[in-house]
Amino acid sequence: MTKPPLGSTMRLVHPAPNVLGFYDGRIDGVRIWSDGPNWLDDGAYALGICTYAIVDGAQALVYDTHISLPHARFIRRTLEDMGVTSIRVVLSHWHDDHIAGNEVFQDCEIIANALTASALERGRAEIEAGDPPIRPLILPNKTFEHSLRLTVGSIPVELRQVEIHSHDGTVLLMPDAGLLLAGDTLEDSITYVSEPERLAQHLVDLERMSGWQFDRILPNHGSLEAIEAGGYDRSLIAATQTYIRKLLGCRHDPDLARQDLKTFGADMFATTAVEYFQPYEAVHRQNVEAVVAAKNR
C-alpha cells in the first residue's frame, strides 16, 4: 500500500462552465493517511471525493474545503492563480471530510446553515481529536436557515437546506445552468447512512428535491469520469430513493440484509446513473447493520 503526500494525487476537472472540481481518491492500492481505519481514507479517499468552486471573474464560491489542509491550499492557490481576489466558502454539512480544510479559508466568509454550525460546535472536541485530527477546527462565521440566495460575479446561486444523509445538509442550485451541487445528499454508488433513525425523513426530502428544476448533478462522492463529463442525470435521485427503501426493508427481511451490494443493488445499477464500485461493499454492510440496529433501539 503506497502513501503519497496529502494533496499530491488531486485532479482538477472542469465539469461545467464556471465550475471547477477538485477530485481526489479512487486510486487502486493507495491510502494517504494510514493503513489502519480512519475517516480520511475509508470515508472519503477510497470512495473518491470532489469539492467544487464556482468562479466568475475575481469572485469564487468554494463548496466544501476538502479532506486536508494541503488539499485546501491547492484549491486556494488554483483560484488565486486564476485572478480570484474574493473567496467565500459554503459548507455542505458538518462531516470531517467536508470541513477539514476550513483553516485555509479562515480569513474568508464561511457560510453554513444554522444546524451545521451547531453540529460543528457540539462536535468540536471529537473532531479536533479525530484520526486524523482537524485542529484547530474553524467554525462558520455566517449562518442561514432554509435557503439563501447569492451571486458569484454575475452567476446566481441558491443554497437550500435539506435533511438527506445528515440532518444539516446544504445543497447548492445553479438555476441558470440547471446544475445541482449535491454534497453527500446523493452519492455514487450508494448513500452513506450516518443517521439511520432519520431515513424516513431523508425520503421525504429526496421527494422534495425531485420536484426541483435542474438537469445535472455534481455529488461530492462519485466517479471521476462521470464528474469530469458534466455530472450525473436525475436518475441519481431515484437510485438513492430505491436504495433507502430497500435498506428499510432489511429490518424485516433477514435474507435481504445478508445480500452483498452487487446483488442488493443489481436493478439499480442496471437502470440508473449509479455504477457498482467495489469499495462500497463495506459501506453497504455498515449501512445494513446501522439500519437493523436502529430498529432494535
Residue 199's Cα: distance from chain center in Å?
A: 17
Q: Whole-model pTM?
A: 0.97
- Condensed to tens digits (0 to 9), the pLDDT of residues 52-66 reads 999 999 999 999 999
- Condensed to tens digits (0 to 9), the pLDDT of residues 197-245 reads 999 999 999 999 999 999 999 999 999 999 999 999 999 999 999 999 9
CB 67 within 8 A of CB 54: no
The DSSP line for 184-249 is TSS-SS----S-GGGHHHHHHHHHHHHTS--SEEEESSS-HHHHHTT-B-THHHHHHHHHHHHHHH
Q: What is the spatial distance between Cα 49 and Cα 32, in angstroms, rounded to a whole number?
A: 13
11-197+213-233, CATH topology level: Metallo-beta-lactamase; Chain A (3.60.15)
Radius of gyration of the chain (CA): 18
1 has a pLDDT exceeding 80: no
pLDDT of the residue at 296: 67
Lowest mean pLDDT among 159-163, 241-245, 291-295: 291-295
